[in-house]
Amino acid sequence: MTIEQLQKDMMAAMKAHDKERKDAISSLVSAVKKNAIDAGCRDAIPEDMVNSTILKELKTVQEQIDTCPKDRTELIAEYQKRHDIMQEYAPKLLSKEEVQKIVTEQFAEVLATKNKGQIMKAVMAELKGKANGKDINQIVGKLCQ
């Protein structure tokens, strides 16, 4: 996903008077721009930075849904709508099976050490933003036993 595409979609939502969609995309755009400024690449924002920011924002909204009191159904519905909109822009993550295949094939020499910290460091460098960190941690934990 590119920042330009996000901005175009935000403009389209504004023209369509879709406030919920505009707000969700707007929060993604501002988060991406903030990360780009922090990283010092304000003018040329790389796609991987956009994707990682989208995933981070998606995780934040999921935490809001999970921690929201169950009796606040209108708030949960609002968070869920925002989550669904952001999910459209999130990059497709690898499945657990794909992650396990990559870890066992590409990191066989590191797996032989049975040092979970060293394995995670090597694997996360390769799969960051491509797979769920919790899934990677579970798979590496199983393989270290």
Strand partners, 128: 131
Amino acid present at 59: K
Structure confidence at residue 133 (pLDDT)? 80
- Residue 32 · residue 45 · CB < 8 Å: yes
Q: What are phi and psi of 128, to 5 degrees?
A: -60, 125
Strand partners, 131: 128
Tell me the pLDDT tens digit for each residue of 49-87. Answer: 888 899 899 999 999 999 999 899 999 999 999 999 999
Q: What is the pTM of this model?
A: 0.75
Q: How far apart are alpha carbons 25 and 8 in whole angstroms?
A: 10
Nearest residue to 140 (alpha-carbon basis) of 121, 118, 116: 116
